[in-house]
Amino acid sequence: MTPAEILQVEKDIILTLKNIYDPEIPVNIYDLGLIYEIDFTPDGVATIRMTLTAPNCPMADMLVEDVNIQVGKVKHVEQVNVILTFEPVWDKSMMSEEALLELNLF
């Protein structure tokens, strides 16, 4: 794969992540700032490093599974590795401007 093709797959992954919503907050997980890193390799492996709004989130398993399933549907993605981390701890400063506006936090 060319660097441009890899970049396109990463953009497609971001679009996919913007369609996955935290069950407790009406904002997608990408704009919420829960996605820390997206790495896609030419052999079709997508590694997503993400966090949750709280370590004891009752929907954690469902959210991670949703990311696995949805990102796995992206063209050229053969395998998805979701790495759940709490370093750094999530806070609202990680949210996009769109998410802050959506939640009236401006």
What CATH number is attached to the domain comprising 38?
3.30.300.130
Distance CA 79, CA 104 (A): 37
Distance CA 103, CA 99 (A): 6
Q: Which of 32, 41, 49, 34 is nearest to 10 (CA)?
A: 41
Q: Which domain, by its residues, includes 68?
A: 3-102
pLDDT digits (tens, 9 = 90+) for 36-67: 999 999 999 999 999 998 888 788 889 999 99
pLDDT digits (tens, 9 = 90+) for 13-35: 999 999 999 887 889 999 999 99
Q: Domain total for the chain?
A: 1
pTM (global) more than 0.85: yes
Region class of 42: left (phi > 0), else alpha (psi between -120 and 50), else beta = alpha
Distance CA 45, CA 75 (A): 11
